[in-house]
């Protein structure tokens, strides 16, 4: 990661130092407290993992909270580019090639042989608590299920555990299936794929009958008890879907996603994608 991030950092610094509004000559001004790129990278990775307050991180590193905030703001745009620059692009590129006929794939078996990542995909939505927002947007972010203000993000995970797609963040009032429809996720899935979802996506088979969906059987007011075969199917589906639950668990190992999000919502998408890219990097899907 250090090898990849160094030219990006140097390019960013050269652009910053050569801005027209800059009064002082290049080379003037106080140098960074963390002098090497390794130290700067460690700073933001430590912040993502532990998620301390800026004043505490500054106290540990020996400089003030304001400069910690500025450094993390500068490092944020680089993490996804160096950890997994293909996040989202790989899946879209493969699907585009299949849809345009560049790859002759007519069945699930063909897809599994050519692209095992995409043959079986798992879709789920993760939810994180945020600080109580301003009164104007409190209702929008309030989740009736969680009884708190939350942010939701949809994930598409491949058979091998690779994160293929990350949606933009949505306010907590949105239902999982509403996010699925807003993201037009069904349009991005090859017809040969098998997609596994949870109970929050019950309407998907009716709305998109051309695709292969697997959702658990659910009781309702007309059908109070599941049959034995339906229970067995639900158990097998849960064993398949555990893969996406494990990936969400890996994401939440980073305290910035596993605890209450305290920063500006405008940074949430970048931070979430950075953690997803780091997760793919840790799982060796990035070379």
Rounded-to-integer distance, Cα 171 and Cα 211, Å? 28
Q: Which residue has the tokens 């009164």?
A: 135
In a domain, 282, yes or no: no
Q: Which domain holds residue 11?
A: 2-83
Rounded-to-integer distance, Cα 259 and Cα 266, Å? 17
Which among 242, 273, 239, 281 has a CA at the least distance from the CA of 256?
Answer: 273
pLDDT per position as a tens digit, 237-254: 999 999 999 999 999 999
For the chain, the average pLDDT equals 90
- Contacts of 62 by beta carbon, 8 Å cutoff, 6+ apart: 33
User: Do residues 176 and 56 both lie within one domain?
Assistant: no
SS3 154: strand
pLDDT per position as a tens digit, 162-177: 999 999 999 999 999 9
pLDDT per position as a tens digit, 19-43: 777 777 776 667 788 889 999 999 9
In a domain, 162, yes or no: yes
Domain count, the chain: 2
SS3 151: strand
**In terms of DSSP bridges, do strands 120-129 and 142-143 run parallel, antiparallel, or are they unpaired?**
unpaired
Handedness of CA 17, 23, 27, 28 (dihedral sign): negative
User: Do residues 147 and 55 both lie within one domain?
Assistant: no
User: Do residues 75 and 103 both lie within one domain?
Assistant: no
Q: Decide if 248 contacts 127 (C-beta within 8 A).
A: no
Q: Which residue has the tokens 């290049």?
A: 26
In a domain, 12, yes or no: yes
In a domain, 248, yes or no: yes
> Is residue 122 very low, low, confident or very high in pLDDT (cuts 50, 70, 90)?
very high
Q: Decide if 257 contacts 150 (C-beta within 8 A).
A: no
């Amino acid at each position: 990661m250090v090898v990849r991030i160094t030219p990006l950092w140097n390019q960013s610094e050269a652009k910053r130092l050569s801005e027209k509004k800059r009064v002082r000559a290049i080379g003037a001004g106080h140098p960074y407290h963390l002098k090497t790129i390794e130290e700067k990278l460690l700073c933001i990775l430590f912040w993502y993992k532990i998620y301390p307050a800026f004043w505490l991180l500054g106290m540990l590193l020996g400089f003030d909270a304001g400069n910690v905030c500025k450094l993390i703001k500068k490092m944020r745009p680089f993490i996804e580019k160096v950890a997994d620059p293909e996040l989202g692009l790989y899946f879209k590129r493969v699907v585009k090639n299949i849809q345009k006929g560049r790859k002759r794939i007519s069945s699930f078996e063909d897809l599994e042989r050519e692209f095992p990542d995409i043959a079986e995909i798992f879709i789920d939505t993760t939810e994180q608590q945020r600080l109580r927002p301003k009164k104007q947007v409190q209702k929008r972010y309030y989740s009736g299920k969680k009884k708190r203000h939350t942010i939701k993000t949809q994930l598409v995970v491949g058979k091998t555990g690779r994160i293929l797609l990350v949606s933009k963040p949505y306010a907590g009032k949105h239902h999982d299936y509403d996010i699925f429809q807003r993201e037009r996720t069904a349009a991005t899935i090859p017809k040969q794929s098998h997609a596994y979802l949870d109970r929050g996506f019950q309407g998907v088979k009716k709305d998109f009958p051309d695709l292969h969906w697997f959702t658990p059987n659910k009781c309702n007011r007309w059908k109070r008890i599941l049959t034995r075969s339906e229970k067995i199917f639900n158990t097998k589906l849960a064993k398949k879907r555990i893969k996406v639950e494990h990936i969400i668990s890996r994401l939440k190992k980073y305290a910035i996603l596993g605890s209450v999000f305290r920063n500006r919502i405008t940074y949430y998408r970048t931070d979430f994608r950075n953690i997803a890219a780091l997760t793919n990097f840790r799982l060796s899907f990035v070379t």
